[in-house]
């Protein structure tokens, strides 16, 4: 906590990175209580008073805090997998200052009371800002529209059936039509269940060799093609979550060229790994959608590079050990992603695929704009939600060391580069890696 007499905090000799304003320079940033007061190249332009705390960052990077738009939290109902407290602690350790959680809790986030409960619980922890999606259909059953208007009034940012696709075309048409009336965003997990049901990994040679039932790429492709026809009919806002195939990138490219209100995200799982990560039945790499082939992985990287893929999200899907340390066909889908979002995204920078600003745009300002939040920038007067990080810090990802209750990461044991030093929310330091030493 800051001393009561301290009104300003100055971070100098910092590499200022703000993709919202295309800023990348060595300079300083001044925080006044809970807001950003000044960002300058020249320290002489900053008025320093006796109530200013000064910290020399010696070239470390300062950027807006990360905004993660696809997070599963077990609370309410499955706190043994992830509570709101463990989720926000995990998030800030990974540099995430705002997160949006999916509605697939127990009970489902399909009424005002449950949405407001999650908000109150998150606010009580005074860490990462937690926002919610509202369920698109009651109980996530895909049969009847949820109270979308009331949920929006309660603070739900967008509407989705979470890890389930809205399979019924008539219901999806109703959801999109209603959402379009109020300019609300609909988020879809694009997967044709009749094709994917019973599958456990990507259809192909690897699945055949392992003797495992496959999930064909076409399950994602067909659902996307159907949905975008409905989007065109309804003039609605649509977001495709965690796309994983080359054809998905092509479909969304065509939709954007047509002028449809379409956006999409992917996860580091799909640009860093391919189906070979399943190896000899490695359940930590059992994900939904499944890890695809190498050509698909490369296409996802290209989609990020050319701007077709708007956002990188962690796709944090916590599972307990009992759900993962069992035979592959019986294991739960999902991987932990909060604490590795920055580092795995920075792989694109270290590999020369994207610039540092381009990567940061996909985990700060782009998701913030999509969800209509006031975060994701270093604008003067903006909330002082930012991170200090070392993009070159080498470390090894070890799931057992995660703050998250969930240790199931497909990146377990992998070397990585890029680490959060401090996370600051509303001007307060909520994570400091030096505290762990």
Q: Which residues are catalytic?
A: 315
Q: Judge whether 397 and 409 are in contact, CB under 8 Å.
A: yes
Q: Judge whether 150 and 138 are in contact, CB under 8 Å.
A: no
Q: Judge whether 94 and 430 are in contact, CB under 8 Å.
A: no
| Residue 117 vs residues 96, 198, 299, 343: alpha-carbon distances, Å | 21, 35, 40, 32
Q: Judge whether 336 and 406 are in contact, CB under 8 Å.
A: yes
Residue with tokens 């609605």: 236
3-state helix, strand, coil in the chain (%, to 5): 35, 25, 40
Residue 68: both structure tokens together: 């993660």
Q: Judge whether 195 and 219 are in contact, CB under 8 Å.
A: yes
Q: Which of 332, 300, 323, 299 is nearest to 313 (CA)?
A: 300
- Reduced to 3 states, what is the DSSP secondary structure of residue 262? strand
CB atoms within 10 A of CB 76: 17
Q: Judge whether 245 and 50 are in contact, CB under 8 Å.
A: no
Q: Judge whether 262 and 307 are in contact, CB under 8 Å.
A: no
CB atoms within 10 A of CB 229: 13
- Reduced to 3 states, what is the DSSP secondary structure of residue 346? helix
CA–CA gap between residue 152 and residue 60 (Å, rounded): 39
Q: C-alpha angle with apex 265: 349 to 405, nearest 5 degrees?
A: 85
Sign of CA dihedral 192, 194, 197, 203: negative
CA–CA gap between residue 423 and residue 333 (Å, rounded): 30
């Amino acid at each position: 906590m800051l001393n009561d007499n301290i009104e300003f905090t100055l971070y100098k000799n910092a590499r200022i990175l703000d993709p919202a304003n295309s800023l990348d320079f060595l300079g300083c940033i001044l925080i006044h209580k809970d807001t950003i007061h000044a960002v300058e190249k020249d320290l002489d332009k900053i008025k320093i008073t006796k109530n200013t705390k000064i910290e020399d960052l010696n070239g470390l990077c300062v950027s807006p805090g990360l905004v993660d738009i696809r997070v599963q939290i077990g609370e309410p109902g499955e706190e043994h997998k992830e509570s709101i407290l463990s989720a926000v602690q995990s998030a800030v350790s990974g540099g995430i200052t705002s997160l949006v959680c999916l509605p697939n809790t127990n009970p489902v986030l399909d009424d005002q009371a449950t949405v407001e409960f999650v908000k109150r619980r998150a606010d009580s922890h005074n860490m990462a800002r937690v926002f919610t999606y509202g369920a698109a259909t009651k109980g996530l059953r895909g049969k009847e529209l949820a109270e979308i208007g009331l949920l929006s009034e309660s603070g739900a940012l967008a509407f989705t059936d979470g890890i389930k696709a809205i399979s019924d075309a008539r219901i999806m048409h109703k959801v999109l039509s209603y959402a379009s009336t109020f300019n609300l965003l609909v988020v879809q997990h694009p997967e044709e269940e009749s094709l994917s049901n019973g599958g456990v990994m990507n259809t192909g040679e690897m699945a055949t060799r392992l003797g495992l039932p496959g999930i064909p790429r076409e399950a994602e492709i067909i659902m996307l093609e159907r949905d975008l026809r409905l989007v065109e009919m309804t003039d609605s806002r649509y977001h495709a979550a965690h796309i994983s195939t080359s054809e998905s990138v092509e479909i969304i490219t065509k939709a954007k060229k047509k002028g449809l209100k379409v956006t999409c995200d992917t996860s580091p799982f799909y640009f860093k790994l391919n189906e070979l990560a399943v190896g000899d039945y490695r359940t930590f790499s059992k994900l939904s959608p499944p890890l695809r082939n190498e050509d698909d992985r490369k296409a996802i990287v290209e989609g990020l590079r050319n701007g077709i893929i708007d956002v990188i999200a962690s796709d944090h899907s916590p599972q307990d050990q009992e759900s993962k340390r069992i035979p592959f066909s019986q294991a739960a889908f999902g991987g932990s992603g909060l604490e590795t979002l920055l580092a795995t995204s920075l792989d694109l920078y270290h590999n020369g695929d994207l610039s540092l600003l381009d990567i940061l745009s996909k985990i700060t300002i782009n998701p913030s704009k999509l969800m209509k939040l006031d975060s994701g920038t270093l604008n003067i007067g903006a909330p002082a939600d930012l991170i200090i990080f070392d993009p070159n810090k080498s470390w090894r990802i070890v799931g057992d060391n995660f703050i998250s209750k969930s240790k199931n990461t497909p990146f377990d044991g992998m070397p990585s580069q890029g680490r959060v030093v401090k996370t600051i929310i509303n001007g307060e330091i909520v994570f400091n890696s030096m505290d762990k030493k």
